[in-house]
Every structure is written in C-alpha cells, then in structure tokens.
C-alpha cells in the first residue's frame, strides 16, 4: 500500500491548499487528511469514500453541493466515479469550500482522462504548483510551493457611526473594513444611485453584503428585498447578516423553507428574498440588495438603477457565477452614479493560493480579450481560419486567446461551457487572424431539422411558430452562431462583417440552408440587420436568467430557406403590428423602428389566414403553449369574436389585457389577485377565445 502521509503533510505544511488527484483504481488510504471533510459524489455514495478510508464529515450528491455556499471545510473530496463527463461548474464551485492548509482531493476514473478535457486537465495539473497526482498506486507527479504565504494585516477602522464600528469587528481584512465604512456615505448621499462590490471569486463580497444588510435593519424599519439568481446562492449573505445582528445586540427571527433561509426579521424590519423576475412587481423599500448582479442580468440591473434609485449590489468579475465585465462596462457608460468598491484579497485562503491559480488556469476564469492597436493592423488583410478542437486542447495560448474572446460574447461564462466546447464534438470554431493575432472568433453549432435534439433551438422556434409544418419540411440544415466576438479595440470597424461573410461562404460550400443566431437584448440587432439577417422572433417574456428578451435571426442561403424565413418574418411582423402594445411595450422604440424598417424594405406583409389557422390549431392542441404565442391573431381577428358568450370574469380579463393592453402587474393590482393567478386565468380564457375564433375564421 502506498504511504501518503509524508507527501500529504509536506504539501500543506506552509499553509497553502493542496490539490490531490487520484486516477483510476488505487490501493491507498486518505484517512490522514483530517476529519472535517466534505465528500461529494454523484449519488452521495459513501462506499466510494470508504474504499480510501476518507473520514467524511458530510456526504452530499452533485445536486446538493451548491447549497453549501458560504460554508467551509478542512478538506473536500470529490468523486467523479459514475459520471459520464467532467462537471466543470462543480469543480470550480467546490474548491471554494476548502480553507487554508486544506486538501482538495479528486477521485477520477481513467476513462475521463481519455476525453479531450481530461487530457487538457492532466497537462494543466502536472504543470501546476502544490499538487500530488497518483495513478496505479504510484505518485507520478508532485510539486510543492516553496514560498511562505503572507498573512494580510488585521483590519483597522475608525468611524463615528456606532453600528459600523461594531460590524467592523467581523471584517477579515482592511479592504472589507473600508467597504463597511463607505456604506453610510452611499446611503445618505444624493450623489450615488448604486453601490457595487466587485472582485474575483472568494473575496467575501456576499459576506460584506450581509453586513450591509445588518446595518440597514438596525437603522431602518420596513421590509427590504434581497435578490439573486436563486435562494441557495444567498445563504452566505444571510449567515453573515445574522452574525452582524448578533454583534449589534439585535434580536432576530430566521424564516426557512426546505432548510434554506428565506428572510430575517428584527420585528421592526425584515430582509426577504425575492426572485429577480418578481422584483418589478414587488413593493420595494430602498435600497434593493442584489447578490451576484451579473448573473441576475445586466438589463435588469439597468432597469432597477433607473427606477429604484438606490441599489447595493455585488458581482464576480472572473469566475463561475457569471462574468461581471459587461456590467462594469455598462456602469462606465450608462450607470455613472455608481460607487464601486473592489475586493482583491481572498478570505478563506492566502493570496497567491496555488489551488486558485490552477483553477483559474484550467478554466480561464480570468481570460481577457487581446488588446490590439488598430493602427498597427488596419492595412493587413484578415485571414479566415478553421481552428480544430484538438488544436485548442494542445495549444494552451491559442485556447486562452480564443476563449478570452468568446467570453466577451456572452453575458455569463461558466466552466461547463469550456467542458462542452472541448468534449461534445458539436461545435466548430472559426477565427479571423491578423499578423498572427486572433482578432475575432465565432463558435458555431450545426442544427439539422431531421435530428431530435434539445439543442436545435432555432428549429424549435420555427416549429413553435408552425413554419416547418406550414411547408411540411423534413430536412433543413442550419448553422447556429452560438457566440461571435471581435476584440473590443477593433469593434465597429467591419471585422465582424468580414468574419460573417467567410462563415456564409463556407456554409454555402457545405450545402447549409441557413445561418442563424439567438441573443439576448437589442445591443447587437443593428449588426445582424446590417448583414441581412432577418429577425424572426422576439420572445414575449423576459428571460428569467438574463433579464432580457431573446431575439432570433436567420439568413437564408437558398430558395428553400428563403421560404421558411419569409414565413417566420411575416409572423413577427404581424406580432409587431398588432400586439406590440402587449408584447413589446417595454422595448426601445428605436430598435422596434429598425426592425420594422428592415422588414418593410424586404416587403414582408402580415401572415395569411391559412398560417393564422395553422397556428391557432397548434395552440389549441398544445396545452402548455403560452397565450402570447397567438396574441397577434387574437387582436387581428378580435372583431370576429363574440365576447358576450364568455363568462364575465373572462370577458373582463380579455378587455383589460387585449383591448386595453394592461400588464399582468396592473391587472393584479386592480383585481387584488396574484400575478401567477392572473396568468393562469388569462391562459384559460384566451384558450376559449382561440377555440371560438378558430371555429369562426377557419371553417374551411
């Protein structure tokens, strides 16, 4: 049996965290790593850990691991046995639970090393500091970090505010203490509308936000709101909030649901969790608190900034929760009354921690687009290049440059995205190269109407719109541009158009029918329209994740595809003409104007009665379809409906929503019923109306 004690102890003797990777089946014991150990496996199977004598203090499955955010352990042991792929998000998340001087142990089956990501993972780990790699009962790679860590100085703070002085006792370092001291300035100054805490993972942003919450409860009365992507992600906020109240000597009551804290009340004041998409319809006291703001959606933050007037938010800049770089860009351009506080020091482990460095290198959590001077390359012709996935695996710098661009094209980038890129065999990477530098990248996913797959997103949209049924299509090959990005210094200089044209030419050579894209928000709509991509769909509801409305565009490459595209655009045109006051009233006038102008220039008209009837039949036969899917048809033919035949309650809902265009929130206030109830009732009564209209206008 392999004796590990001396290797393990040397790995953590200076206080650094240690990465231990155990590959395949080995005869060894890990009981010397310590007792306060979190064990994670796919199904929380304790036998996986008993084999190695791991002293598990707590065992959870993959799905439960994220619920432990805000807690810490001496060690974490993550078993990947029984998995079919690498859980990238879980790898990045679970390292956060290990504090200084602890072990992060990965039990990896050999088959996972055969994947592209597995080979890439192996290369990164063997080049990293403070690791121990074991295979076939042998230590095949180990490297220790020789430098001693530096302990940050203890926090000091002077403040005339008695609450801040007490809360500062919970600060881990001077950065956090300074962040606390600035809170009253923000709250009581008209100069600022938003306070933003930002930094990388593990910097204690949620903890400081929790202390902010304690201060607000101590100084104010009323009900305040905390929002984030989900309830699990704010448990560390609530834990620090209650610690803050204890330091202030304030009694409180904790309310929980399924073991998760939902609100904390002092009697005179309360902070409660509200889902991001419910905030707009909630009566709010200032300030609104937002944890992981970039993950909530930049568009939502901007709307709240304009309407609410006082927001306290935190966001991760680099990491698995969501990129905050787009949010910082918006703050610089559109939300200038923002006090920004950057937290640089980690709180659970030492600065320059080798495990953190390994994770950042592995998943490119801090990848940035290249800074290129336009004047130096403007006279050079860009080269269009196909980059194979194998090239990315074998060329770390190429992967970093490519991925650094791809992350700028999406509101949130996660470790899972890198695993999918390398291991799924479904993506194509195309790039523009100038003087050996990657200046633009596109990530493409082929879609085929003949394939039954959840990832054929644009085809699903076309089927929902009944376009594919209308033309009775069996095959339609499409390339979906998942992400496309030009390095920021070179944007708006025509390089995006050059990259698109190369992709289109390649697609035609490969007999692809269409090229499409789906994106959130209207910031890039002008780019797509300029390149003759037809808008075919605007989602009627805000995306719960991004806080924006999804838009789909298509460029037909042949006559068959042109028929599909024209049918889809006629439906969108009809929705805009008849139902904008219901579906798109909150979208920018100038963007809707650009779309209408483009469609009318292409001589797109309202859809035919035949297509209307096909959509009505599909809606009536599909109980899960939202009423917004056919709202334009209802408005278009409302003069043919017999409203008097509907029950009074249904009739009044139709009048409020269809004839007057009142929002669900407005109807909820009038009727004193919950928005969810209103939506259910609307779906029922519009379904009855749709059946009536189908019988009236579709008799043939």
Helix axes 205-219, 235-247, angle to 10 degrees: 50
CATH superfamily ID and name for 162-343: P-loop containing nucleotide triphosphate hydrolases (3.40.50.300)
Long-range CB pairs of 504-511, under 8 A, 24+ apart, other chains included: 504/555, 504/557, 506/430, 507/479, 507/557, 508/557, 511/477
What was the pLDDT predicted at 1? Answer: 44
Q: What number of other Cβ atoms are within 10 A of residue 46's Cβ?
A: 12
Average pLDDT of the segment spanning 188-194:
93
Of the chain, the percentage scoring pLDDT greater than 70 comes to: 95
What was the pLDDT predicted at 188? Answer: 92
> What distances in angstroms separate CA 147 from CA 15, 16, 350, 360, one per listed residue?
10, 10, 12, 20
Name the residue ranges covered by the structural domains of the chain. Answer: 5-143, 162-343, 374-601, 615-697
User: Which range, of 249-258, 316-325, 502-511, averages the lowest pLDDT?
Assistant: 316-325
Q: Do 140 and 133 form a contact (C-beta atoms < 8 A)? A: yes
What was the pLDDT predicted at 532? Answer: 96
> Which residues make Cβ contacts (< 8 Å) with residue 666, sequence separation at least 6?
656
Of the chain, the percentage scoring pLDDT greater than 90 comes to: 63
Average pLDDT of the segment spanning 238-255:
96
Q: Note the pLDDT tens digit of each residue in 651-677.
A: 899 999 999 999 888 898 899 888 889
> Which residues make Cβ contacts (< 8 Å) with residue 39, sequence separation at least 6?
46, 49, 54, 56, 57, 58, 59, 60, 76, 77, 78, 79
What was the pLDDT predicted at 76? Answer: 97
What was the pLDDT predicted at 453? Answer: 53
CATH number of 374-601: 3.40.630.30
Residue 324 in this model has a pLDDT that exceeds 80: no
Q: Note the pLDDT tens digit of each residue in 339-385.
A: 999 999 999 999 999 999 999 999 998 887 888 888 889 899 999 99
What was the pLDDT predicted at 362? Answer: 96
Q: Model-level pTM greater than 0.85?
A: yes
Tell the residue number behind the tokens 């807690």, with chain if given. 71
Do 5-143 and 162-343 share a fold?
Answer: yes
Q: Is the dihedral of CA 257, 263, 264, 267 positive or negative?
A: negative
Q: Do 2 and 137 form a contact (C-beta atoms < 8 A)? A: yes
- The continuous run of DSSP H or E covering 164 comes out as helix 162-167
CATH architecture label of 5-143: 3-Layer(aba) Sandwich (3.40)
Quickly list DSSP for 269-305: EEEEE--GGGGGGS--PSPEEESSHHHH-HHHHHHHH
Q: Note the pLDDT tens digit of each residue in 573-604.
A: 999 999 999 999 878 788 889 999 999 999 98
What was the pLDDT predicted at 149? Answer: 94
Q: Do 253 and 207 form a contact (C-beta atoms < 8 A)? A: no
Conformation bin of residue 640: beta by default, left when phi > 0, alpha when psi is -120 to 50: alpha
CATH number of 615-697: 1.10.10
User: Which range, of 38-52, 407-421, 583-597, 630-644, averages the lowest pLDDT?
Assistant: 407-421
The side-by-side arrangement of strands in the sheet containing 311-316 is 253-257, 260-265, 269-273, 222-227, 288-290, 311-316, 194-199, 338-343
**Of 192, 175, 249, 186, nearest in space to 212 by CA:** 186
Q: Is the dihedral of CA 53, 58, 60, 66 positive or negative?
A: negative
SS3 per residue for 517-586:
EEEECCCCHHHHHHCCCEEEEECCCCCCCCCCCEEEEEEECCHHHHHHHHHHHHHHHHHHHHHHHHHCCC
């Amino acid at each position: 049996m392999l004796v590990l004690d001396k290797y393990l102890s040397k790995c953590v003797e200076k206080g650094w965290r240690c990465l231990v990777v155990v590959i395949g089946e080995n005869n060894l014991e890990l009981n010397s790593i310590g007792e306060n150990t979190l064990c994670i496996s796919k199904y929380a199977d304790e036998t996986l850990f008993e084999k190695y004598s791991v002293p598990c203090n707590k065992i959870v499955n993959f799905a439960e691991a994220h619920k432990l955010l805000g807690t810490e352990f001496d060690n974490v042991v993550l078993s990947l046995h029984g998995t079919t792929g690498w859980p990238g998000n879980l790898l990045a998340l679970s390292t956060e639970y290990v504090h200084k001087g602890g072990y992060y142990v990965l039990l990896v089956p050999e088959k996972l090393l055969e994947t592209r990501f597995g080979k890439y993972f192996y290369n990164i780990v063997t080049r990293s500091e403070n690791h121990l790699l074991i295979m076939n009962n042998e230590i095949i790679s180990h490297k220790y970090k020789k430098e001693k860590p530096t302990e940050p100085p203890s926090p000091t703070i002077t403040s005339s505010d008695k609450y801040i002085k007490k809360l500062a006792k919970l600060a881990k370092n001077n950065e956090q203490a300074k962040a606390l001291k600035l809170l009253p300035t923000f709250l009581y100054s008209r100069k600022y509308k938003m306070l933003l805490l930002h930094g990388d993972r593990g910097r204690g942003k949620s903890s400081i936000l929790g202390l902010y919450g304690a201060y607000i409860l101590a100084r104010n009365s009323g009900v305040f709101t905390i929002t984030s992507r989900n309830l699990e992600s704010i448990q560390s906020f609530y834990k620090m909030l209650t610690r803050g109240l204890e330091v202030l000597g304030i009694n409180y009551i904790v309310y929980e649901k399924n073991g998760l804290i939902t609100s904390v009340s002092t009697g005179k004041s309360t902070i409660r969790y509200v889902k991001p998409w419910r905030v707009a319809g909630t009566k709010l006291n200032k300030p609104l608190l937002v944890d992981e703001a970039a993950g909530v959606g930049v568009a939502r933050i901007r709307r709240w900034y304009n309407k609410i007037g006082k927001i306290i938010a935190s966001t991760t800049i680099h990491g698995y929760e969501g990129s905050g770089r787009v949010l910082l860009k918006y703050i610089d351009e559109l939300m200038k009354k923002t006090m920004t506080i950057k937290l640089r020091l980690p709180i659970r482990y030492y600065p320059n921690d080798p495990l953190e460095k390994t994770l950042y290198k592995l998943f490119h959590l801090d990848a940035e687009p290249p800074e290129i001077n336009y004047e130096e390359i403007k006279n050079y012709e860009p080269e269009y290049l196909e980059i194979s996935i194998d090239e990315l695996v074998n060329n770390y710098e190429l992967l970093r440059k490519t991925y650094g661009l791809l992350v700028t094209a999406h509101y949130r980038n996660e470790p899972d995205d890198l695993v999918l890129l390398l291991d799924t065999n479904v993506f194509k990477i195309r790039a523009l190269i100038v003087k050996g530098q990657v200046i633009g990248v596109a990530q493409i996913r082929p879609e085929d109407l003949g394939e039954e797959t959840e990832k054929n997103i644009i085809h699903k949209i076309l089927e929902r719109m009944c376009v594919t049924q209308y033309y009775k299509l069996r095959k339609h090959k499409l390339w979906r541009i998942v992400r496309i990005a030009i390095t920021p210094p070179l944007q708006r200089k025509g390089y995006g158009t050059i990259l698109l044209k190369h992709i289109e030419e390649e697609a035609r050579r490969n007999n692809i029918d269409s090229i499409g894209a789906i994106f959130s928000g209207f910031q890039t709509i002008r780019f797509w329209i300029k390149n003759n991509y037809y808008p075919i769909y605007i989602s009627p509801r805000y995306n719960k994740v991004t806080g924006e409305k999804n838009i789909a565009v298509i460029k037909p490459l042949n006559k068959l595809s042109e028929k599909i595209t024209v049918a889809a655009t006629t439906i969108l045109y009809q929705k805009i003409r008849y139902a904008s006051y219901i579906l798109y009233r909150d979208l920018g006038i100038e963007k809707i104007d650009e779309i209408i102008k483009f469609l009318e220039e292409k001589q797109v008209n309202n859809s035919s009665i035949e297509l209307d009837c096909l959509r009505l039949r599909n809606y009536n036969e599909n109980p899960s379809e939202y009423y917004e899917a056919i709202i334009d048809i209802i408005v278009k033919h409302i003069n043919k409906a017999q409203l008097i035949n509907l029950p009074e309650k249904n009739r009044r809902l139709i009048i409020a929503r269809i004839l007057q265009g009142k929002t669900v929130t407005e109807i909820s206030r009038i009727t004193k019923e919950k928005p969810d109830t209103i939506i259910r009732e609307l779906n029922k009564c519009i379904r009855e109306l749709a059946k009536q209209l189908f019988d009236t206008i579709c008799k043939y």
